[in-house]
């Protein structure tokens, strides 16, 4: 005998499982938030120079927390709550958080492609299309308080074709972003740990987000009952936000490893001397510049500028295939040149000695220590 998914008993059972599942997701979201709080705090305190893409990072995390806890309160309430407001919070945060997560990866892809208009303009138009689709889901969601179940009972959700369209579009959009970024980074990944990191993170993000959105698309297409139609909705948002923000943070943490951490306020320099990163092995071009204690408290940033072979005045530019992390001293790493060659600021090619480990000798370091 076929299972009656629309029976009152089945819907109540599904709602009970859904409530427990949301509590698990709330725990995962809280763990991610607390475990990465030091990174957020370093931005708030000004240890990392503020750049506007950081706003997307914080918006995505805020939407995830509000969304999942609105669901947790709704499905596990012990007294009457305002259902309309709670459902509105969950819908708005979902509609904002999902496109913002895609937007974080869009910006990185545009930077890797040197902000070419033929790349970023179509991507932005696709992002706007994703936002428009999400906005269509607002008017269909209705719920009311059920005194027996002590929860806001879902009366209706967006039509199944719309749900399937939203998540299918999101999957296709993420795939295009991943494909463009991976294509650009694939050749350089074997010679540059930076491009290898970005390539790996792009694949991981896509796999996580694609799986979560696929699950929600399948449940929406099956149209079993109002609860099952949106069963994986919070799961898709939590996975997408955690994955995209992790990609965002990894760019900074890798640079911290290269440059000595986010707490260094001054960096010694060599006058035209090549240096090899301690953890990355990537060769850098160090321009002739004096040692300075001056710091603008902007120790690194997610600068979405195309890769250039000349760093800006008084900054290190750690080139990440178009994504640059800016620091106080002039350094530029070009992943497309690989680890076997470097170019001085005058454009002439130079090489390290065979017996060099990439760092100045002890005698050389004495003249370059920060004052």
**298 assigned to some structural domain:** no
**244 assigned to some structural domain:** yes
In 3D space, the residue among 202, 238, 231 whose CA is nearest the CA of residue 217 turns out to be: 231
The per-residue pLDDT for 149 is 75
By CB atoms closer than 10 A (0-12, 13-18, 19+), residue 12 is: middle
**354 assigned to some structural domain:** no
CA separation for the pair 224, 226 (Å, rounded): 7
Tokens in use for 93?
Answer: 């945060």
The per-residue pLDDT for 64 is 96
What are the tens digits of pLDDT across the range 255-287?
Answer: 665 444 554 433 433 434 443 443 344 444 444
Top-confidence range, 34-48, 204-218, 325-339: 34-48
The per-residue pLDDT for 199 is 78
What are the tens digits of pLDDT across the range 135-187?
Answer: 888 777 778 888 887 778 777 777 888 888 998 999 999 899 888 888 888 86
**53 assigned to some structural domain:** yes
The per-residue pLDDT for 35 is 94
The per-residue pLDDT for 267 is 40
With 0.75 as the threshold, say if the pTM is over it. no
CATH number at residue 55: 1.20.1070
By CB atoms closer than 10 A (0-12, 13-18, 19+), residue 298 is: middle
Q: Which residue has the tokens 């490893």?
A: 257
Question: Total structural domains in the chain?
Answer: 1
Q: What is the DSSP string of 87-109?
A: HHHHHHHHHHHHHHHHHHHHHHH
What are the tens digits of pLDDT across the range 57-78?
Answer: 999 999 999 999 998 888 888 8
CA separation for the pair 285, 310 (Å, rounded): 9
For residues 252 and 320, is the Cβ–Cβ distance under 8 A? no
Residue 12 or 287, more confident:
12
**74 assigned to some structural domain:** yes
**151 assigned to some structural domain:** yes
Helices 83-112 and 193-222 cross at an angle (nearest 10°) of 140
Confidence band for 188, pLDDT divided at 50, 70 and 90: low
**130 assigned to some structural domain:** yes
Residues 6+ apart with CB under 8 A from 151: 15, 19, 74, 75, 76, 77, 145
| C-alpha distances in Å from residue 343, one per residue of 75, 97, 272 | 60, 42, 10
Tokens in use for 176?
Answer: 């295009």
Per the structure, the complete domain to which residue 103 belongs is given by 8-259
Distance of CA 9 to the CA centre of its chain: 41
Q: Across the strands, what pairs with 286?
A: 331
Residues 6+ apart with CB under 8 A from 161: none
**104 assigned to some structural domain:** yes
């Amino acid at each position: 005998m076929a299972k009656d998914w629309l029976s009152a008993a089945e819907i109540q059972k599904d709602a009970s499982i859904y409530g427990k599942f949301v509590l698990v997701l709330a725990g995962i979201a809280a763990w991610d938030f607390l475990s990465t709080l030091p990174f957020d705090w370093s931005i708030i305190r000004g240890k990392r120079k503020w750049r506007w893409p950081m706003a997307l990072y914080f918006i995505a995390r805020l939407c995830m927390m509000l969304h999942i806890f609105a669901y947790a309160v709704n499905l596990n309430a012990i007294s009457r709550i305002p259902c309309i407001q709670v459902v509105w919070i969950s819908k708005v945060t979902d509609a904002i958080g999902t496109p913002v997560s895609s937007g974080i990866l869009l910006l990185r892809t545009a930077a890797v492609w040197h902000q070419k208009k033929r790349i970023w303009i179509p991507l932005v138009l696709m992002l706007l299309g994703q936002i428009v689709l999400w906005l269509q889901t607002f008017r269909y969601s209705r719920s009311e308080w059920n005194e027996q179940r002590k929860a806001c009972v879902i009366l209706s959700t967006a039509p199944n074709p719309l749900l399937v369209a939203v998540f299918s579009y999101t999957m296709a959009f993420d795939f295009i972003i991943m494909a463009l970024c991976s294509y650009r980074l694939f050749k350089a990944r074997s010679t540059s740990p930076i491009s290898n990191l970005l390539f790996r993170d792009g694949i991981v993000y896509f796999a996580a987000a694609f799986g979560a959105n696929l699950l929600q698309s399948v449940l929406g297409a099956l149209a079993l009952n109002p609860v099952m139609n949106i069963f994986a909705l919070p799961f898709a948002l939590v996975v997408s936000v955690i994955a995209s923000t992790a990609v965002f943070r990894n760019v900074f943490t890798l640079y911290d490893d290269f440059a000595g951490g986010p707490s260094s306020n001054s960096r010694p320099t060599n006058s035209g001397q090549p240096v090899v990163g301690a953890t990355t092995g990537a060769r850098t071009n160090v321009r002739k510049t004096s040692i300075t204690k001056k710091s603008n408290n902007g120790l690194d940033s997610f600068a979405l500028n195309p890769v250039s072979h000349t760093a800006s005045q008084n900054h290190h530019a750690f080139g990440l295939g178009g994504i640059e992390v800016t620091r106080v001293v002039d350094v530029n790493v070009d992943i497309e040149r690989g680890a076997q060659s470097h170019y001085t600021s005058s454009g002439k090619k130079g090489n390290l000695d065979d017996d060099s480990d990439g760092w100045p000798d002890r005698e050389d370091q004495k003249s370059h220590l920060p004052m």
